[in-house]
Amino acid sequence: MTVRWHRWLAVAALLLGCWALWTLESARSGVTFEEMSVGPTPVTVWAGSEDGPAVVMAHGFAGSRQMMQGYGLLLAQAGYRVYAYDFEGHGRHPTPMSGDVTAVDGTTRLLVNQTLEVIAAARADAGDVALVGHSMATDVLVRAALETEGIGPLVLLATFSGAVTAQAPDNMLMITGAWEPRLQGFAADAVADAAEGVRREAIVVPAVDHVAILHSRAGRTAALDWLNAYYGRDGKAQVRPTGWALVGLLAAITMLFAPVARLFPAAGGLPDELSWRRFAAIVAAPMLAAPTLAAPVDTQVLPVLVADYLALHLLIYGLVQLGALWATGARPGPISILGGVLVLVWTVGVFGFALDRYGANFWPVPERYGIIAALALGAVPFMLADARAVQGAGLGRRVLARLGFLVSLGLAVALDFEGLFFLLLIAPVIVLFFLSFGWIGRMAATRFGAVGPGVGLGLALAWALGVSFPLFSAG
């Protein structure tokens, strides 16, 4: 990439970042932020009015309070008081989820109890309470509403609950993304089966999936209109494209790493490219070895779903790939501490700060420190091997290398579907990591060699996974 293109890239990233920041900060303007606790449950109150109706807002599985900002901040700007909280095991809640996840009287019961406590706290502050939730939370909120007298309207995103009956809940809006036909069917049936006099509506918002629905402008508009109609309010707020702005900001931060890295002296050139035959071998060997060698090992140590297995899988994958690289004659190259520090600061500090403020929790509670350290034991060798394998490689080889790892996770799930099913939920996090942090690592390896940036990326991967996994304790 020429110097001219680096300059154009920096200009484009700065312009994109400025627009994104303006949009995201505008969505927060006029809103007060108050942190409180209900027992051990961390709660954030977003308020645009001191006397507005209260809205208790809950996230989905592997989510956090921050992920509900698209709806929460809009309602706050329209005059509501929004009480967003982290479920046990999620976000910054220090207590792991527990109980039987397959039984209604197990984990679900505990989450309903937690929600009832937050509802009681919101009622003490603001009286009447409406409920808004996404995915997993829709079932929890329905069950909480059935156990609480005088609950106001429900707005449920990506709804599914076995507790919905013909008579209850009343006054329920179900919003489903156009790319989720199964959930569309559930919402339509819930409306069709409703008893006479029960007010329900199901709408489908265009061009969104299970996650993008959290920033759907059509969905947020419908939610505000539904609550306004119930409370007889005319509160308005501009529905901004916060989803695109968040993507734009994170993309801008990613792109800006290249010109920032060029401010520092280079530490090494690119290595000779491996033949396709050798490259295929260094992808295939760990792809097959990691699930095969890890399968017999008992990984029930950490209080997190499948995190200990993933740490072992990453460790084996990285060590086997490093061995394969050594066998082909590929050597580590220069070691740049500066490159590793710069990558870690940019991914965890800059990128992580933006993500935590505008999109999803990225800062760990102390209970997660040990989990991040355990993941780092596997993530550092894995990313070190990956950084060396794709250093200077073309797009085809980079895609092949990352597909190899995803295939290895798929093989692991196939060998133990019941025990490792939750690895499938981590795959999108891995893909996003490679798309964003992978670019940062590639730019760093080009300038500083693979070793330092590889270690930095390994620590960043451990951090990202360590804050994403829900804490869980069977006890």
| Residue 133 and residue 141 in contact, taking contact as beta carbons nearer than 8 Å | yes
**Using only C-alpha atoms, what is the Rg of the chain?**
24
With a pLDDT cut of 90, the percent of the chain lying above it is: 74
| Residue 306 and residue 471 in contact, taking contact as beta carbons nearer than 8 Å | no
Residue 311 in 3-state DSSP?
Answer: helix
DSSP 86-103: PPTTSTT--SPEES-TTS
pLDDT at site 2: 52
pLDDT at site 268: 65
Q: Which residue has the higher pLDDT, 46 or 9?
A: 46
Evaluate if residue 76 carries a pLDDT over 90. yes
| Residue 98 and residue 107 in contact, taking contact as beta carbons nearer than 8 Å | yes
pLDDT digits (tens, 9 = 90+) for 427-454: 888 888 898 998 999 899 888 989 999 9
**34 DSSP β-pair partners:** 45
Work out whether the CA dihedral 441, 442, 447, 448 comes out positive or negative.
positive
Pairing of the two strands 54-58 and 154-157:
unpaired
In this prediction, residue 425 has a pLDDT band, given cuts at 50, 70 and 90, of confident
**What is the Cα–Cα distance from 356 to 460, expressed in whole angstroms?**
15
pLDDT digits (tens, 9 = 90+) for 295-344: 888 777 777 777 889 999 999 999 999 999 988 877 777 788 999 999 99
Q: Where are the beta strands (DSSP E) in 8-110?
A: 32-38, 41-47, 54-58, 81-85, 97-98
**Mean pLDDT, residues 269-295 taken together:** 87
The one-letter code for the residue type at 279 is F
In terms of residues, how long is the chain?
Answer: 475
The one-letter code for the residue type at 73 is L
Q: Is 65 exposed, middle or buried (0-12, 13-18, 19+ CB in 10 A)?
A: buried
Residue 58 in 3-state DSSP?
Answer: strand
Q: Which residue has the higher pLDDT, 112 or 327?
A: 112
Q: What's the chain's average pLDDT? A: 92
**What is the Cα–Cα distance from 351 to 347, expressed in whole angstroms?**
5
pLDDT digits (tens, 9 = 90+) for 129-157: 999 999 999 999 999 999 998 899 999 99
pLDDT digits (tens, 9 = 90+) for 164-196: 999 999 999 999 999 999 999 999 999 999 999
Evaluate if residue 281 carries a pLDDT over 60. yes
In this prediction, residue 269 has a pLDDT band, given cuts at 50, 70 and 90, of low
With a pLDDT cut of 70, the percent of the chain lying above it is: 97
Q: How far is CA 249 from the centre of its chain?
A: 16
The pTM score is: 0.93
pLDDT digits (tens, 9 = 90+) for 83-111: 999 999 999 999 999 988 778 889 999 99
pLDDT at site 1: 47
